């Protein structure tokens, strides 16, 4: 009887291993090492990446990296590490005010460039040039809306099959440009239909890490400022480094909220209730999936 029980337990273990191996689980990748290190402590994608790859990547800052307009310098951001650094905004935008004090972080291009530089890759070219100079950068395009290149994108449900971790999604929307990095899919991070039924139809849609607007950073850093008197003169941010999913209809999300100056549609991931936003494609007028090359 004891022998039979041992055989049964062994069978269950093998069954579990076969089930896991049937999924395209995330692999250790130096681009992911850097990208995910800028997420907050306890982030599910960082935690699952470590678990699935045997890595031990730690969050650089417990609360993650906030958005800072013009945030291009890693060294400047890390000047007071392990504490955050502060700086006055040099320009006025829809959210930032020139001369006002903010906690230093990255902007979208600064985050992408730092990931590339840390891995021996060239910086991503200026986003306007990357989107429009197909004569120079056409070889870097995986897909693009530029009709001169003729590399149209397939349906969102299969586009991830054609991408590599570290490919960049560059978009033009509402008069500005934004850059996001492909990090895999929910299935790659071992999410299943049973675990996340609301996301069952979107397990193979692309996930991206980016430094941009988010519904959670304002409250997170307002609390931090209130609890740390040395930052009392700082203003809150409207975003930071986080993970979004692309291609999912906004109406599929169970949560819709206007925070600060932006509208968000998002899911709460099973387990810790972590917010995962849908990147809004409705305002994107041009795009390219850009594959960076080595030095």
The whole-angstrom separation of Cα 66 and Cα 103 is 7
The pLDDT value given to residue 22: 47
pLDDT at 1 over 70: no
Q: How many CB atoms lie under 10 A from the CB of residue 216?
A: 18
**Cβ contact 182:206 at 8 Å:** yes
Q: What is the pLDDT of residues 153-180, one digit of tens each?
A: 999 999 999 999 999 999 999 889 999 9
Looking at the predicted structure, is the pLDDT value of residue 3 above 90?
Answer: no
Report the range of poorest mean pLDDT among 18-27, 131-140, 159-168.
Answer: 18-27
Residue 236 predicted with pLDDT over 50? yes
**pLDDT top residue among 215 and 1:** 215
Separation between Cα atoms, residue 242 and residue 260, nearest integer Å:
17
Output the pTM of the full model.
0.90
List, as one string, the DSSP characters of 132-149: H-HHHHGGGEEEES-TTT
How do residues 97-130 score in pLDDT, each as one tens digit?
999 999 999 999 999 999 999 999 988 999 999 9
257 pLDDT above the threshold of 60: yes
Higher pLDDT, 18 or 235: 235
Considering all CA atoms of the chain, what is the largest pairwise distance in Å, rounded to the nearest integer?
A: 76
Q: Are 124 and 116 in contact (CB under 8 A)?
A: yes
Q: How is residue 226 written in tokens?
A: 């209130």
Q: What is the mean pLDDT of the chain?
A: 91
Q: Would you state the pLDDT for residue 13?
A: 36
pLDDT at position 58 is 98
Q: Which helix (H) or strand (E) covers residue 289, if one does?
A: strand 284-290
């Amino acid at each position: 009887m004891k022998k039979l029980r041992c055989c049964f337990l062994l069978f269950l273990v093998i069954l579990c291993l076969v089930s896991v191996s049937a999924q395209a689980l995330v692999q250790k990748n130096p681009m992911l090492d850097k990208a995910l290190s800028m997420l907050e402590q306890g982030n599910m994608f960082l935690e699952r990446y470590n678990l699935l790859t045997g890595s031990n990547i730690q969050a650089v800052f417990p609360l993650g990296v906030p958005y800072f307009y013009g945030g291009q310098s890693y060294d400047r951001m890390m000047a007071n590490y392990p504490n955050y650094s502060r700086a006055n905004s040099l320009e006025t935008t829809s959210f930032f005010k020139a001369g006002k004090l903010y906690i230093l972080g990255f902007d979208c291009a600064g985050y992408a460039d730092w990931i590339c530089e840390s891995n021996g890759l060239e910086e991503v070219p200026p986003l306007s040039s990357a989107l429009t100079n197909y004569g120079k950068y056409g070889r870097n395009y995986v897909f693009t809306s530029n009709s001169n290149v003729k590399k149209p994108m397939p349906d969102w449900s299969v586009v991830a099959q054609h991408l590599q971790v570290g490919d960049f999604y560059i978009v033009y929307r509402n008069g500005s440009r934004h850059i996001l990095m492909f990090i895999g899919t929910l299935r790659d991070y071992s999410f299943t239909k049973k675990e996340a039924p609301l996301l069952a139809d979107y397990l193979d849609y692309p996930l991206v890490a980016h430094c941009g607007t988010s519904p959670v950073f304002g409250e997170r850093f307002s609390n931090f400022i209130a609890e740390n008197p040395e930052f009392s003169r700082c203003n809150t941010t409207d975003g930071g480094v986080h993970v979004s999913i692309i291609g999912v209809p906004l109406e599929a999300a169970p949560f819709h909220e206007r925070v600060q100056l932006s509208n968000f549609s998002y899911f709460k991931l099973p387990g810790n209730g972590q917010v995962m936003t849908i990147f809004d494609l409705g305002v994107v007028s041009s795009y390219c999936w850009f594959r960076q090359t080595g030095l």
